[in-house]
Amino acid sequence: MKIAFRSLWTRKSRTALAILGLLLGVATIISLISITDGIREEVGGVLSQVTGIVVLEKDVAMPTLSHIPIERIEKIERIAGVKVAAGRVMTMVMQIDEKGGGLEGWMEPVMIIGIDPAKEALTAKGEMPTGENIVRGRAPLPGEKFVAVITEDTADDHNKVVGSTIKLGGHSFRIIGIFESAVSVGGVSRIATTIGAARELADDLPSDMVSAIYIEPNNPRDAERIATMVEFMYDDVSATTGEEIGEQVSTMLGSIDAFLWMISLIATVVAGLGIINTMLMSIRERYREFGVLRAVGWTKDDVLRLVMFESVMLGIGGGIIGIIFGYLLVQLAKMYVGIPMAVTVQTAALAFMFAIFVGLIGGIYPAWKVSNLNPLEAIRSED
């Protein structure tokens, strides 16, 4: 091991390049696993609050394009087992306080969710339409109109507190609450207000329409039956239960996991090739050294172990530095992404095992090649 370490140390540039390729692979694995774990935790917490059914117009690309007649709300509430059916109006605005941080003053889109306070108060989920809880202030009350409940991220980004005024689509809203910042898919933030105020912002939504209907069953076990009944009554809508939403999210997270392993595979191949190249160049420069070692009594197995030790040391070095680098990347990402990310002991251990595995794989061929050198020919080598 001492000889292996000295050999790597005397070839610092080549050793550093091999470790660099490996640490990038390790850091990538740590970052991606931390992100997917954070998304899974955040989405899982929100979905656990959703026990009802979301009704949207069938085959629409997004909720803001859905149009459902208001008159259906009352009819849906008559279905056996339905506790409450609440209409919602959803629309998008592109600016907050008539300014944004992007191109020409525009910012990432903000989804406005208009709720019926009297109906939403009867549901069993969290305090907000998407299941989050209010951390400061309160939810809209019946009779209010231009009031808003914003996310913690929006409050921080725009220096808002409860009691502040926020301008959306040419209307001034009084902030009455701030709720937890959950995952914003596609960079879309959310602001909750009353259904009347949201309708003022939704220019393309007729006055006798809502964007969605949220149905709360008396018994969560009746959700699937009620969803089937709604789709039977109206063939132009889709009714999705909380369990089905969870399955869809699980499928999405499965795709993310598959992407993660694909990236990991690419990182493994790149890092492995880097180590193989480093070791092959190293043994080529040391043919005479290996020949002398064989001549003074070293066996094939001794030479093979020496090269394997060097390769594993590269893996250990790349693993340790990669874990540190990956941890720093995750801490940096947490400053800009509203997802609870953390590098767990399990993640660090997995990444470290990955590094050692790549080191082992990368050293097998060079070790086999050098262990089979003819000692006399190696000593006579001019390389």
Question: What one-letter code names the amino acid at 83?
Answer: K
State pLDDT tens for residues 289-321.
Answer: 777 777 788 888 888 888 888 888 888 888 899
Query: What distance in Å separates the CA atoms of residue 213 and residue 70, rounded to the nearest whole number?
Result: 9
Query: The whole model's pTM is what?
Result: 0.61
Angle between helices 12-47 and 242-285 (to 10 degrees): 170
Please name every residue paired with 86 in a beta bridge, in sequence order, or none if there are none: 214
Checking if the pLDDT of 228 tops 90, the result is yes
State pLDDT tens for residues 237-249.
Answer: 999 887 777 677 7
Query: What distance in Å separates the CA atoms of residue 128 and residue 105, rounded to the nearest whole number?
Result: 29
- What is the DSSP annotation of 107-138? -S-EEEEEE-HHHHTT-SS-SSTTS--EEEE-
Query: What distance in Å separates the CA atoms of residue 166 and residue 314, rounded to the nearest whole number?
Result: 55
* In the chain, domain spans: 2-43+250-380, 59-235
Checking if the pLDDT of 379 tops 90, the result is no
CA distances from 298 to 4, 16, 279, 306, 311 (A): 15, 29, 19, 10, 19
Structure tokens at 222: 């009746």
Provide the pairing of β-strand 82-93 with 68-69. Answer: unpaired
Structure tokens at 293: 């070692």
State pLDDT tens for residues 203-223.
Answer: 888 889 999 999 988 888 898
What are phi and psi for residue 35, nearest 5 degrees?
-65, -45
Residue 357: CB atoms within 10 A of its CB come to 16
| DSSP conformational letter for 182 | -
Checking if the pLDDT of 106 tops 60, the result is no
Which residue's entry shows tokens 């406005």? 112
Nearest CA to 90 among 158, 192, 22, 232? 192
Query: What distance in Å separates the CA atoms of residue 241 and residue 24, rounded to the nearest whole number?
Result: 41
Highest mean pLDDT among 100-109, 165-174, 367-376: 165-174
Query: What distance in Å separates the CA atoms of residue 365 and residue 277, rounded to the nearest whole number?
Result: 10
What is the predicted pLDDT for the residue at 186? Answer: 45
Checking if the pLDDT of 120 tops 70, the result is yes
Query: What distance in Å separates the CA atoms of residue 312 and residue 4, rounded to the nearest whole number?
Result: 10
What is the predicted pLDDT for the residue at 59? Answer: 87
